[in-house]
């Protein structure tokens, strides 16, 4: 199979599977500057695909090794032990071509799925159920809103009354929500202000441009403007597979009384409903159980739209070189990086 045909087959298969993340799309690999990527397919004798996985590869030239990462994957039936075994062997072979010291999986399986966790560990993956969520690459806890078989009216009616009021208030006060992927300058200004106000590092405008370009019509930049045309809030969402995912959001401190963030979320939820998605993924809610944690407000805001928290199992590591693994961990931890 030619490479372009294989790429198309991979993307078609992955995008049609249930409970799949945009991070297993070929377009996500195009966003990750400084990473190489490989896509593997497991097929039967008739060419039918039964499993797929995208690997992101970060080379470490000085140590002649690499770190291989599988974000929110692989895409397969986790209850099929032989399938997992075959896929793991393909992953192992691919990683060794890059002289990788380890492979990390971050599958979309529940933390209490003991059968799948046991299958993976029996295949050689290391798993620590007590690992701090702050030391993991992706958020272990997400907030999901089921969309399937509900009208927008039903979804809206299930919101907290105050959330419904705030959405109506924004509309009544003339706030307008638009989709315009060309307004990156406005979004970047909002993101710069948000990062300074809330004290976190932000992505560059070039990164967001690459994200929107890579995913094309599957990605949307939403902006809420005041009646005077002042950008108040913005967000980037991606539709992939059976879900719309809310990736990045930003807002100004001005005119917060106009409630633009509530209208922003409602428009993205509406996109998910209008396009027949099963799920709207609010993404991470780290430390949501701790009412004293600074992130608790994020959870409280998302909770008002209905839905439920989901806790994933976390990360599974396949160590290919114990010596290099320990060396890389030592060097990274000396620099304060604890996620490997």
Tens digit of each residue's pLDDT (9 = 90 or more) over 293-318 = 988 999 999 999 999 999 999 999 99
Q: pLDDT for 51-74, tens place per residue?
A: 999 999 999 999 999 999 999 999
Q: How far apart are CA 264 and CA 234, in angstroms?
A: 7
Pairing label, strands 65-71, 100-106: parallel
Identify the pLDDT of residue 14.
97
Residue 73 in contact with residue 38, Cβ under 8 Å? no
pLDDT at 3 over 80: no
* pLDDT bucket at 146, cuts 50 / 70 / 90: very high
Q: How far apart are CA 111 and CA 302, in angstroms?
A: 21
Q: If you compute the radius of gyration of the chain from its CA atoms, what whole number of angstroms results?
A: 21
Domains of the chain with bracketed CATH: 3-140+313-334 (3.40.630.30), 142-311 (3.40.630.30)
Mean local confidence (pLDDT), 15-39: 96
- DSSP H or E segment with residue 191: helix 184-198
Question: How deeply is 26 buried, as exposed, middle or buried, from its count of CB atoms within 10 A (0-12, 13-18, 19+)?
Answer: middle
pLDDT at 201 over 90: no
Mean local confidence (pLDDT), 182-207: 94
Q: How far apart are CA 194 and CA 198, in angstroms?
A: 6
* pLDDT bucket at 2, cuts 50 / 70 / 90: low
- Residue 64 CB neighbours (<10 A): 10
pLDDT at 320 over 70: yes
Q: What percent of the chain has a predicted confidence (pLDDT) above 90? A: 92
Q: How far apart are CA 150 and CA 285, in angstroms?
A: 24
Q: How far apart are CA 159 and CA 304, in angstroms?
A: 6
Q: What percent of the chain has a predicted confidence (pLDDT) above 70? A: 99
pLDDT at 1 over 70: no
Look up the pTM and report it: 0.95
Identify the pLDDT of residue 337.
84
For 154, residues 6+ apart whose C-beta sits below 8 A from its C-beta are: none
């Amino acid at each position: 199979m030619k490479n372009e045909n294989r790429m198309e087959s991979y993307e078609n298969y992955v995008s049609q599977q249930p409970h799949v993340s945009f991070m297993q799309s070929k377009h996500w690999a195009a966003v990750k500057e400084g990473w190489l990527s490989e896509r593997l397919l497991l097929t039967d004798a008739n060419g039918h695909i039964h499993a797929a996985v995208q690997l992101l590869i970060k080379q470490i030239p000085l140590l002649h090794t690499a770190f291989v990462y599988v974000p929110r994957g692989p895409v397969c039936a986790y209850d099929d032990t032989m399938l997992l075994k075959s896929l793991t062997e393909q992953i192992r072979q691919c990683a060794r071509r890059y002289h990788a010291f380890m492979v990390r999986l971050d599958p979309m399986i529940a933390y209490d799925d003991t059968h799948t966790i046991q299958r993976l560990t029996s295949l050689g993956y290391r798993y620590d159920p007590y690992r701090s969520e702050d030391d993991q690459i992706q958020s272990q806890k997400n907030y999901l809103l089921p969309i399937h078989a509900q009208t927008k009216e039903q979804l809206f009616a299930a919101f907290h009354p105050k959330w419904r009021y705030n959405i109506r208030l924004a509309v009544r006060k003339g706030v307008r929500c638009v989709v315009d992927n060309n307004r990156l300058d406005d979004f970047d200004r909002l993101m710069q202000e948000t990062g300074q106000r809330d004290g976190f590092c932000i992505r560059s405008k070039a990164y967001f441009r690459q994200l929107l370009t890579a995913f094309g019509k599957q990605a949307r930049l939403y902006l809420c403007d005041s009646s005077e045309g002042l950008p108040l809030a913005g967000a980037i969402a991606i539709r992939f597979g059976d879900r719309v995912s809310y990736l990045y959001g930003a807002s100004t401190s001005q005119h917060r009384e106009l409630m633009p963030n509530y209208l922003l979320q409602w428009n993205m939820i509406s996109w998910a409903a209008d396009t027949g998605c099963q799920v709207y993924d609010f993404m991470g809610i780290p430390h949501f159980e701790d009412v004293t944690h600074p992130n608790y407000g994020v959870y409280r805001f998302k909770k008002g739209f209905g839905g439920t928290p989901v806790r994933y199992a976390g990360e599974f590591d396949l160590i290919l070189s114990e010596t290099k693994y320990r060396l890389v961990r030592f060097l990274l931890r000396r620099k304060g990086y604890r996620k490997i």
